[in-house]
Chain A
Amino acid sequence: MANRKDFFFRERVTEAELDSAFADLEDADHNLAADLGFVGVLANAVVSPHAPVPNLTVDISGPGIALDQQGQRIFFSALQNANVAQDDNAVSTEVSGDGKEKVVSIFVKFDRALSDPRIDGNSQSVFFRRDESFKFLVVQGAEAAAGAAVPPALRSDALLLADVVRSFGQAQIGGDAISTARRQDAFVLSGAPRSIRRGQTTEAISDLLGFYNAHVGGTADRHAAAAIDYAGGNTAWADGGQNPATTVEAQIDKIVADLAAEGGAAKIGAAATEGAPRALGGGSVKSQLDALLGFINGHITVAAGAHVSSAIAYAAGGAWKDGTANPATTVKAQLDKLVSDLVADAGANRIGVGTRTNWLDGSANPAGVSILAALSKIINDLSEHSDVADGAARIGARTSGTLPAGSVRSQLDALNASAVRTNAANVFSATQTVNGTADEKVPAVATNVAPTQPAQRKLLWESAGESYKYRLYAALFDFEITANARWDGAQWVRDVAAFASSKLDFNTNFFRLNSTDANNAPIGDNWPNNFTIEMIGHGHQVIDVGGNLISPGATETYISYLGPFNNAAVGTGAPFRKVFPAQPSSITFTMLNSRNVASGPFGFFPTPIGTAAFVGGTIGQPDVQFACHVLAT
């Protein structure tokens, strides 16, 4: 508050005492402003180009409120205008030449508006009312080169509102010529990144609050990380690397650098992770990555059993050619389905085929069908046998002998014109060579129509002689060659009645020559003459060059003896009718007739060609007689 004057009762108050009281109040008011530090423009008083048409004056917005350096309140209510064409000393502020400039400062100063003149006791005119008022001061600085002009100095008795740059030939003061850099607002707080230029306390505090909120909220004026201290970490990286104290900026850079480096993963710790079939032990990200890589490589390179196919999903796929769907399932189920789908009879209908080459006759084989359809088409195409659609015309055939290359049809047609027919008689006028295959075991010529009844025989070959014919027959069990004998189904008939007939036949049991006499009558299957050599059951039989029959079978002979008996054994020889391959082991004697035979016969000294036979005679008898059948085996 103010110093007081305590006017008292019946005091004659002097002018000075009243003026002093007012002065004390003004002083208190001024002191308050000074104590609070409020000096400068509090509101408005913004200098702007004159409106509506700029000129060499400027507008100063109102109501302007300011407190000067002495704490005096400066106030004007309405928009004001100041002429910057001349200064307060009426000196023109024009710039003398191009490339030069002046700075003209506009100050606002406290003034008193005197009014209500009165005559005091001294008969002096005294303005009773001494209202607070103002006035603008226009002060120009020295002219200098453009950009180098120095503005007028700030005053201690006025407040700077703006500096106006006057340039050569300037006719208007524009916004770009007005600078408020030195404006003396009540709150001019310079700083970086923020400064405050405000008149009112609330405005300044509001700015501060805004700056703070924006800072705290991170919408503006965030702290540079380099401006924030990092006290250092108590815990090292997982690989033991340290993090000493530094700034947050540096530490974050260090973290990035540490982790971006090749050893970054080793710096990050990782707890043990349970799992099956594999688990990860505690360590660092690097150690666990290494372990995982080992698991993955081992898994990828495992030769078998990596994954049960039933554990791998198969997303649904496209349908088969026949529309059979392949819905989502497991890989195993789908593989099984693939097999079953293709193994099924409908399998071939599920696989598509593209365009195939045309048949030899030009018939097309288009795409867009299934394998089954393609196969069916092949069968149908090759089965066709009409005049307009011929399977044989679709199949190629290379040159074969005298047949030129072409189609099966063309070659069949060529063959038809000249080939031997199996169902028609063919006459060969040239020697025919029939060699068959190179395999000597395979017949060159074969007849496989065989008789099924004993009286049947197949005439294989008939060759004409001069008068009668020679024939080759295959009977049920016999192979027969005849001369002048033809089997008519029931009997043998001669070609030429005047000649006899003969037949050679053999089978697995015997070799036989048959013949007839010159008899006109046909003969049945019984030939009157035959010579048979039985061949089974006797082993090897040979007629040697000397005409001897050597055979292991039984043979018979006949012996007899009639002669004197001198009480000693008598005997004879029994030559065999054939030659045994070795000495026979059995001689059987059957006495046909005997006289005076007491014992025997016995065989003696048998050989392959015969044996001796002896009998014992009756003692005392003059002779002995015997006739004996001998069987040797």
Chain B
Amino acid sequence: MPIKMISISPEPGHMIQHCAGCGAEHRISLNRGAQKAKIGPVSLHAGDTLEIRVDAQPPATVTFTPSDFADLARVTAAELAHVVQRALPGVIVSEDSGGLLIESATTGPNSRIEIVGGSARAALGFPTNGAADPCHGPPVLGVSFGPEQIQDPNILALRRCNNCGSNECLVRTFEAIGAELSGSYVAEHRRIVNTLAERCKACGWSHPDVAAHHAAETKKPVDIHAAFPERELHLAEFLRPAPPAPTARPEVAR
């Protein structure tokens, strides 16, 4: 299930995403733009570069030199973070579950990190075909291809997983799921997603094209955690324990 945990501490909060495509874990800050490289170690070449645009500023180029790393062929996320942080003091750079995470130091709708060029893009997992990350800014509720184009106020798109290229769309749901599914993955993930979506809406983190729609809403999702944001939510704590699986005989590999 994609969302593992949501929390508002420290402000403005964050979520831990478990990529449904590859299983990698990603920290996604709320109300803050960010980009994350694929999980290392990665192999670079001397002089590889990465062009990074922070917020609305001109892109900055980070150059990776052999002296920055113990082994250029096996560069760790921590080493990359050190280099990038040194080159871009105005960002928050960290090692996140094995991958380089670059976050804007600012928050708000204009907070963003964009990887706009550089020879290190492919090695770090960033797309090179010009495809824009569906979420290089802060996560917002609602997707839209334009004011007059197709929109969905219930989709919360997350930034691409540069480990596998998947992009996650969380879906806000309004109808109640059957009580018999309480404690199951599908039911509890719906509640966490709805809680996150309503948090975004309450904080005004809506896609501009659907903000008016959100403001006019009179209904709220039924399956939701009322205790948030006073306490952080972990999906695992709401799941009913799985029955112990008996030792299965390897009759046929499926």
**A, B assembled together:** yes
**Which of A530, A540, A569, A633 has a CB less than 8 Å from the CB of B178?**
A540
Are the CB atoms of B169 and A599 closer together than 8 Å?
no
**Which of B166, B173, B177, B184 has a CB less than 8 Å from the CB of A588?**
B166
Are the CB atoms of A568 and B149 closer together than 8 Å?
yes
Question: Is residue B155 within 8 Å, beta carbon to beta carbon, of the partner chain?
Answer: yes
Are the CB atoms of A588 and B145 closer together than 8 Å?
no
Are the CB atoms of A589 and B167 closer together than 8 Å?
yes
Question: Is residue A191 within 8 Å, beta carbon to beta carbon, of the partner chain?
Answer: no
Are the CB atoms of A588 and B165 closer together than 8 Å?
no
Within 8 A of B (CB), among A579-617: 580-591, 594, 597-606, 614, 616
The interface centre, meaning the residue of B130, B149, B167 with most chain A CB atoms within 10 A of its CB, is: B167
Question: Is residue A43 within 8 Å, beta carbon to beta carbon, of the partner chain?
Answer: no
**Which of B131, B150, B243, B254 has a CB less than 8 Å from the CB of A536?**
B243
**Which of A509, A526, A581, A600 has a CB less than 8 Å from the CB of B245?**
A509
A597: chain B residues at CB < 8 Å are 129, 131
Return the CB mask of A543-566 against B: 1 if under 8 Å, else 0: 000000000111000000000000
A476: chain B residues at CB < 8 Å are 246-247
**Which of A526, A568, A584, A618 has a CB less than 8 Å from the CB of B145?**
A568
Minimal beta-carbon separation of B174 from chain A (angstroms):
8
Are the CB atoms of A454 and B175 closer together than 8 Å?
no
B157: chain A residues at CB < 8 Å are 602
Question: Is residue B134 within 8 Å, beta carbon to beta carbon, of the partner chain?
Answer: yes
B134: chain A residues at CB < 8 Å are 599-600, 602
Minimal beta-carbon separation of A412 from chain B (angstroms):
44
Minimal beta-carbon separation of A531 from chain B (angstroms):
10
Question: Is residue B1 within 8 Å, beta carbon to beta carbon, of the partner chain?
Answer: yes
**Closest partner residue, chain B, to A617 (CB atom):** B145
**Closest partner residue, chain B, to A616 (CB atom):** B145
B3: chain A residues at CB < 8 Å are 586
Minimal beta-carbon separation of A316 from chain B (angstroms):
71
B189: chain A residues at CB < 8 Å are 585-586, 633
In which size bucket is the chain B interface? Answer: 35 or more
Minimal beta-carbon separation of A414 from chain B (angstroms):
47
State the CA gap A532–B254 with chains docked (Å): 9
Are the CB atoms of B246 and A477 closer together than 8 Å?
yes
Question: Is residue B216 within 8 Å, beta carbon to beta carbon, of the partner chain?
Answer: no
Return the CB mask of A493-508 against B: 1 if under 8 Å, else 0: 0000000000000011
State the CA gap A440–B141 with chains docked (Å): 55
Question: Is residue A287 within 8 Å, beta carbon to beta carbon, of the partner chain?
Answer: no
Assuming A537-B185, A586-B189, A602-B143, is B150 touching A569 (CB within 8 A)? yes
Return the CB mask of B176-212 against A: 1 if under 8 Å, else 0: 1110110011110110011000000000000000000
**Closest partner residue, chain B, to A455 (CB atom):** B249
**Closest partner residue, chain A, to B189 (CB atom):** A585
**Which of A509, A539, A586, A603 has a CB less than 8 Å from the CB of B180?**
A539
Are the CB atoms of B186 and A580 closer together than 8 Å?
yes
Are the CB atoms of A509 and B248 closer together than 8 Å?
yes
Are the CB atoms of A582 and B129 closer together than 8 Å?
no
Question: Is residue B170 within 8 Å, beta carbon to beta carbon, of the partner chain?
Answer: yes
Are the CB atoms of B177 and A591 closer together than 8 Å?
no
Are the CB atoms of B242 and A536 closer together than 8 Å?
yes
Are the CB atoms of B181 and A588 closer together than 8 Å?
no
Assuming A586-B193, A590-B166, is B131 touching A598 (CB within 8 A)? yes
**Closest partner residue, chain A, to B196 (CB atom):** A585
Are the CB atoms of A526 and B252 closer together than 8 Å?
yes
Are the CB atoms of B171 and A591 closer together than 8 Å?
no
A509: chain B residues at CB < 8 Å are 245-246, 248
Question: Is residue B79 within 8 Å, beta carbon to beta carbon, of the partner chain?
Answer: no
A526: chain B residues at CB < 8 Å are 250-252
Are the CB atoms of B2 and A588 closer together than 8 Å?
yes
Question: Is residue B122 within 8 Å, beta carbon to beta carbon, of the partner chain?
Answer: no
Assuming A588-B20, A589-B169, is B186 touching A539 (CB within 8 A)? yes
Question: Is residue B55 within 8 Å, beta carbon to beta carbon, of the partner chain?
Answer: no
Assuming A540-B180, A581-B177, A602-B169, is B21 touching A507 (CB within 8 A)? no
Are the CB atoms of B193 and A508 closer together than 8 Å?
no
**Closest partner residue, chain B, to A509 (CB atom):** B245
Question: Is residue B48 within 8 Å, beta carbon to beta carbon, of the partner chain?
Answer: no
Within 8 A of A (CB), among B212-249: 242-243, 245-249
**Which of A554, A569, A586 has a CB less than 8 Å from the CB of B170?**
A586
Question: Is residue B164 within 8 Å, beta carbon to beta carbon, of the partner chain?
Answer: yes
The 4 closest A-B CB pairs, nearest first, are A477-B246, A539-B184, A569-B145, A552-B186
29 contacts between A and B (CB under 8 A): A454-B249, A508-B246, A509-B248, A510-B248, A514-B251, A525-B249, A528-B252, A532-B254, A537-B242, A539-B180, A539-B185, A539-B187, A582-B177, A582-B178, A584-B171, A585-B193, A586-B168, A586-B189, A588-B21, A588-B166, A591-B131, A598-B131, A600-B167, A602-B152, A602-B155, A602-B167, A616-B132, A631-B21, A633-B189
Identify 17 new A-B residue pairs, CB closer than 8 A, beyond the known A536-B243, A584-B190.
A508-B243, A526-B250, A526-B252, A527-B252, A552-B187, A553-B185, A582-B173, A582-B190, A586-B168, A587-B169, A588-B168, A589-B166, A597-B129, A597-B131, A598-B131, A599-B131, A602-B152
